[in-house]
Chains A and B, each alone.
Chain A
Amino acid sequence: AQSVTQPDIHITVSEGASLELRCNYSYGATPYLFWYVQSPGQGLQLLLKYFSGDTLVQGIKGFEAEFKRSQSSFNLRKPSVHWSDAAEYFCAVYGQNFVFGPGTRLSVLP
């Protein structure tokens, strides 16, 4: 069975600082990988996805993620965080079915 872990429950960064959110998965093969963002009171919005090819993928809102097969990781990054990035972020994996991680809540200090 596949699983997804997001080691950080809550992260706080200052506006303008860089950001990295961690995601690790467990699956026997290379799954499809996704990052979703959930703003307060909203549904989930797809930020980016990886299926194959270039291991560095670009998404919306200036986010990018890097797939590292050797580490079974798919970490999300942004070089400069904006206050509007405060939200909850979910890593998701599709192998045999669609599984979400527990989420990381991002707070941004002015």
Chain B
Amino acid sequence: EAQVTQNPRYLITVTGKKLTVTCSQNMNHEYMSWYRQDPGLGLRQIYYSMNVEVTDKGDVPEGYKVSRKEKRNFPLILESPSPNQTSLYFCASSLSPDSIYGYTFGSGTRLTVV
């Protein structure tokens, strides 16, 4: 089954403790992206990747890092999480950023930073 898999689904952590949210897709998509969803703000793009070793900032990149060492994986790294990063995070992938097929989304990771 074609899908985007995120882990973990739920995570509670303390301020400053580094964490990684994994994202993996099995569709051979070149384009991958991370979003955070906050009430009333919709989805805002954090980082995106056009292909292996090619990443770029989205609208809200501060406090996040990403890497794309292989095509299928696009982990999101929070080096020193803060409470304002408490949010629902989604990974998405597509053949290209303007793909007519739209994006395939993961099921989300709900992160709470205390």
Contact = CB atoms under 8 A, between A and B. Distances in A.
Interface stretch (A11-19, A66-74, A96-104): A96-104
Interface in A32-61: 32, 34, 36, 41-46, 49, 51
7 contacts: A32-B98, A43-B90, A43-B105, A44-B43, A44-B103, A46-B103, A102-B40
Given A42-B107, A43-B106, A43-B108, A94 B42 contact: no
Interface of B: 4, 33, 35, 40-45, 58, 90, 92, 97-98, 100-103, 105-108
Nearest to B110: A41
B102 A49 contact: yes
Contact of B33 (A34, A90, A98): A98
Interface residues of A, number: 21
A26 B105 CA distance: 24
B100 A102 contact: no
Interface of A is mostly: strand
A90 B105 CA distance: 13
Contacts of A103: 42
A7 to B, nearest CB: 13
B42 A100 contact: yes
A32 B106 CA distance: 22
A88 B103 CA distance: 17
A46 B102 contact: yes
A94 B33 CA distance: 14
A9 interface: yes
Contacts of B43: 44, 90, 100
Contacts of B107: 41-43
Given A94-B97, A98-B33, A100-B43, 12 more contacts: A9-B40, A41-B108, A42-B107, A42-B108, A43-B107, A44-B43, A44-B90, A44-B92, A45-B105, A46-B102, A97-B58, A101-B42
A78 B26 CA distance: 33
A42 to B, nearest CB: 6
Contact of B41 (A43, A44, A46, A102): A102
Contacts of A34: 102
